[in-house]
Amino acid sequence: MAYDRDAIFTRVGKFVKLHSSVLAYRDTLDGIDDEFQDVFLAYTRDREAVYARVASDLNTFKARMTAMADTVKRRVDTYIRDHLSIRLDTSFTGVDEILARLVVEMNNNGDTVQRNDGHAGTAEVQIRNAYAGTFSAIAATNLARDAWFDVVCVSTGTQGSEKWRVQSSVEIEGSKIASVQAETDEEYTWTAAGITFTISSGSTIVEAGDDVGQCSNWVLTGYSTANTNKGVLYARVLGVVWSPYGQNQILLYKDSDFDAADLVASGTIVGPGEVTLAEANGSGLSGSVDFAPNYGTLDQDITLTVPLFVAGDYFRFRTWSDDDNGLFAKFFREQYDVLLPNAAYYGVTIPDSLAQ
């Protein structure tokens, strides 16, 4: 049996319409839930008990709608295996293989469904150090779906080497977690999810506790989670008592106890100027700082926060797609991770009207 665009999508359109209608009804129950809360929790005697019963009923209805949508999806699976395979004249028996063949036939015949555009929102940031770095604007393709994404720092070290787990609220290609992790300062793309972003390292070192302003223009390299306290360093400015020429030491520690074993860098200077900070205890951290001595006043409680991501830092953002167009494109993307050939509404050969 030859490929027949109208016969295939007229039948599939009925499934798509039913599936989207069931999910739309389920989603309206969330709005009804909010209205019940406003009414029952504000004006009803024994309101908590009454609302609990209502909420239980609503959750039952929503579960039934989800089960009904799953039933429709299984019927589509059956149609693909038992009927679409015959129309495409293929011996394939797997749903993924048959749909791949459908895409080939659509391309060969110049057929397209209406595009379902993807969108992305601004990222919510939960970063211990606001200067650690930035999250670029998310680019969303027409593979983007209705989902939340968490990008969580899971592996740390030196600045720029952090690894990030990318996790979706919905399954994409059979998993909610991307098979490839993101890395700081590298553009990241999860093609099947329709997202691209970049996490960039910061460059600002934040100083606190230098009450008399003796230190400025800190420049540090090689800092990591191993030679800082989750990105925090502790500095001391000490006078060298045996020096008759006003010599001062600047000492950097990775812990606020200032134990000798926690010293990570140090330098000395006579008078004002730039102090070279050499690594200590094989820390790998070094740098420089401008020093303007205030004789008779020493600082022993300076803290430096370096731009370093730590485990648990995360960015969260949402993607969504248009609800009122691209019905075939949206259904096959979200249910099968398949991108059908598509075009703007004025150039399609398979209109959304078949699924409305």
**Where do the domains of the chain lie?**
5-113+331-340, 119-203+310-318, 206-305
Question: Residue 244 above 60 pLDDT?
Answer: no
Split at pLDDT 50, 70, 90, the class of 48 is: low
Mean pLDDT across the stretch 32-51?
Answer: 64
Tokens of 63: 């579960």
Split at pLDDT 50, 70, 90, the class of 131 is: confident
Contact of 214 with 291, CB cutoff 8 Å: yes
Q: Which of 44-48, 259-263, 286-290 is predicted least confidently?
A: 44-48
Q: Which of 2-16, 54-68, 101-115, 198-212 is predicted least confidently?
A: 54-68
pLDDT for position 301: 86
d(CA 322, CA 194): 14
Q: 302 versus 323: which is more confidently predicted?
A: 302
Split at pLDDT 50, 70, 90, the class of 118 is: confident
| % the chain with pLDDT above 70 | 91
| % the chain with pLDDT above 90 | 56
Question: Residue 224 above 60 pLDDT?
Answer: yes
Question: Residue 352 above 70 pLDDT?
Answer: yes
Q: What is the pLDDT of residues 139-190, one digit of tens each?
A: 888 888 889 999 999 987 788 889 999 999 999 988 999 999 999 999 999 9
160: left (phi over 0), alpha (psi -120 to 50) or beta: left
Q: With a threshold of 0.85, does the pTM exceed it? A: no
Q: What is the pLDDT of residues 57-96, one digit of tens each?
A: 888 888 888 899 999 999 999 999 999 998 888 888 899 9
Mean pLDDT across the stretch 97-103?
Answer: 94
Mean pLDDT for the chain?
88
Q: 52 versus 85: which is more confidently predicted?
A: 85
pLDDT for position 325: 78
Question: Residue 138 above 90 pLDDT?
Answer: no
Split at pLDDT 50, 70, 90, the class of 42 is: low
Question: Residue 34 above 80 pLDDT?
Answer: no
d(CA 50, CA 57): 11
